[in-house]
Structure 1
Amino acid sequence: MKRLFIAFSLWFCITLLGGYLTVSYVVQSGDNLYNIAKKFRISPSTILDWNNLANPLKLKAGQQIVVPQPEGYLYVVKQGDSLYSIARAFFTSVSDILIANDLNSELIKPGQKLFIPQKIVGKAFNTEKGYIWPVYGVLSSPYGSRVHPITRQMSFHSGIDIAAPEGTPVFSSTSGVVVFAGEKSGYGLMVEVKSNNSIVRYGHLSKITVYEGQGVERGTLIGRVGNTGISTGPHLHFEVIVNSKTVNPLALLPSSNKVYVLKDGVEAAGGE
């Protein structure tokens, strides 16, 4: 990708990277994350995904924030990746990624940077039920009684585990308000989203891309898969609490054979 650096003003500067650009914005007195996101017409979650902010609710004047234009995510290809695995992680299509990155071949290599525009993300969410699958992965542990993978004792598992590579995007399964975003005992980095009489928990994240009090829509990026807390490998702990009691998330989600469904019906896939 060709780089072109443009100094625009004392408040921000622009770097052009192929089909997209990044803006380095200097936080001004009185700024907050919501207002900055509104100024650039993107979600606060996108800003948090691009930046490592110690406290998103307390920005400091002079602090620099990177903002992508158009809105989207940067993905660095890892060993073993294919455009198909990347497309499924972002619930989009291979053809859309090819077009967005001006690629004429599906061949990719480790270290290569791909831009995933927000407008193509979520095209393959299965929305046949009120909840969508929050991540594309493999169901590795069910809800209910099980032998705990660490203690080796029988215990009750209050959610389901979905194994996926570290850094895989995690999307909000429902619309609601973030009531917790931080570290919580065995859950590691965790997000809780409240919607009417339910609370949805997303645990063991490597990164959180929402803040407490933020309203999120179904499909909003809330974090990245990780291995934090009491965990034996990268996965998402997905838990649903209705009227103060946990329920089996599989009863609320679309079939595990149809985690990924392109809207035109061309392709459907379950967790790999």
Structure 2
Amino acid sequence: MRRWLLVLWLFVSITYGLSSYFLVHYKIQKNDTLYSISLDFGVSPSLILDWNPGLTPWNLKVGQIIIIPQPPGYMYTVQKGDNLDIIAKRFFTTPVLIKEANHLTSDIIYVGQKLFIPESAIGKAFNDEKFFIWPVYGTISSGYGWRIHPITGKYSFHSGIDIAAPTGTPIFAAESGIVEFAGVNGGYGLMVKIKSSSYEHVYGHLSQIDVYEGQYVKKGQLIGRVGSTGLSTGPHLHFEIRVREKAVNPLNYLPSKIWVLKKELVGAGGE
């Protein structure tokens, strides 16, 4: 399978010009599973789910066509107000690496443009000064603790923090663990719950879920996209950390800065 992929990449490169990636349109075969396909193509199950919204490990059908990028990577659609620096921060990488991957000769981008973000470039600017990393790049719009609920108007306890970010912004696992829940959960909307040896993490209001229950995910792995599902006033990530099923203030566990570029990359994009 790997040799076939190399031949295909060479064919596409010669036919369409040397490109940083190409898309395989794979037809599901008998006895295929999401995991077996991920092994054959050298990509994670989460990446396949991200490229194929609505797909789950349980609804694969023989003859169904799915999209798989080679090499592994994700697509981002440029939105109003975006620039390369902002997009790079959302993927915790550098503008230079995004430009190289998309053969951009300038910093000019336009709304609606599709940018390929290689998996190898993601996470270069994760701040790992603490055990956890920030799950998303954005602005804290609501803190942990008691507040007037923006929708119900009632005085209630906010069990996490809200990080405002545009719809489609990638969400990364703050810590490695097993996915305990992935689906719709009342006011949380589309929600993912990941359990590690000592903590539980809750990610709410997603627009898309890229993991499935029982899946082991590594810290820094993309698990979904920011949205505004459930009881929400706008696109953001509701993020909780729980200790023995009791919510604690995530800011006590997260690094002091969201985005920190590694020293060896300072010259490749700057801060």
State if a TM-score over 0.5 links the two structures.
yes
Q: Distance in 2 between matches of 1:44 and 1:14?
A: 24
Unaligned runs of 5+ in 1: 1-7
Q: Which residue in 1 is equivalent to 2:189?
A: 188
1:200 counterpart letter in structure 2: H
Q: Tell me, what secondary structure is at the counterpart of 2:179?
A: strand
Q: 1:45-97 CA distances to partner (integer Å, 9 max, x unpaired)?
A: 11011002343333111111100000001122222110011101100001111
Q: Distance in 1 between matches of 2:180 and 2:245?
A: 15
Task: State yes or no: 1:253 paired with 2:236.
Answer: no
Q: TM-score, normalised by structure 2?
A: 0.90
Task: State yes or no: 1:177 paired with 2:178.
Answer: yes
2:57 counterpart letter in structure 1: P
In the comparison of the two structures, how many residue pairs are matched? 256
The 5 A counterparts of 1:33-182 are 33-182=34-183
Q: 1:17-50 CA distances to partner (integer Å, 9 max, x unpaired)?
A: 8321000111111111111011100111110110
2:220 counterpart letter in structure 1: G
Please say which of residues 55-64 and 96-105 is displaced more in the overlay.
Answer: 55-64
C-alpha contact (below 8 Å) 1:14/1:23 kept by paired residues: no
CA RMSD of aligned residues (A): 1.9
Q: Which residue in 2 is equivalent to 1:24?
A: 25
Unaligned runs of 5+ in 2: 1-7
Q: 1:85-141 CA distances to partner (integer Å, 9 max, x unpaired)?
A: 110110000111111111121111122221110000010000111110000000010
- How has the CA–CA distance of structure 1 residues 14 and 209 changed in structure 2, closer, same or farther, with 3 Å as cutoff? farther
Identity %: 57
Q: Distance in 2 between matches of 1:143 and 1:250?
A: 8
C-alpha contact (below 8 Å) 1:87/1:93 kept by paired residues: yes
C-alpha contact (below 8 Å) 1:261/1:268 kept by paired residues: no
More helix by share: 2
- How has the CA–CA distance of structure 1 residues 14 and 241 changed in structure 2, closer, same or farther, with 3 Å as cutoff? farther
Please say which of residues 97-106 and 221-230 is displaced more in the overlay.
Answer: 97-106
C-alpha contact (below 8 Å) 1:259/1:268 kept by paired residues: no
Q: Distance in 2 between matches of 1:167 and 1:76?
A: 8
Q: Tell me, what secondary structure is at the counterpart of 2:89?
A: helix
Q: Distance in 2 between matches of 1:143 and 1:85?
A: 26
